Amino acid sequence: MSEVTIKHLATMLDIPADKLLAQLAEAGMHFKGPDQAVSSTEKMKLLGFLRRAHGKAEGGGEAITAPSHVTLSRRKVSEIKVS
């Protein structure tokens, strides 16, 4: 699955082929039509471009300002009856 056509990739991503062509053009990769092949490196370039354009950090899916740990506190104290 290293090379697929733009049309096939658009159907896998469930977006119109014209929108995918526009996104590829914004990322700096110009294709003439939806029947041209897209390599895996070009797909990774597009993914990196879209992540940067939408504000996500490169490499990880977490935000940069994510807390390092979470502190939980108990809201209610109750006794359990043993019979």
Classify residue 48: in a domain, yes or no: yes
Question: What percent of the chain is helix, strand and coil (3-state, nearest 5)?
Answer: 40, 5, 55
CB 13 within 8 A of CB 20: yes
Q: What is the pLDDT of residues 46-83, one digit of tens each?
A: 889 988 888 765 555 555 566 678 888 888 888 888 87
Classify residue 64: in a domain, yes or no: no
The candidate with the shortest Cα–Cα distance to 34, out of 47, 44, 23, 45, is: 23
**Distance of alpha carbon 26 from alpha carbon 31, whole angstroms:** 11
Its pTM surpasses 0.85: no
Classify residue 41: in a domain, yes or no: yes
Query: How many structural domains does the chain have?
Result: 1
Range of the domain at 22: 4-53
Classify residue 45: in a domain, yes or no: yes
Classify residue 19: in a domain, yes or no: yes
Q: What is the pLDDT of residues 3-23, one digit of tens each?
A: 888 899 899 989 999 999 999
Which residue is listed with tokens 């354009």? 53
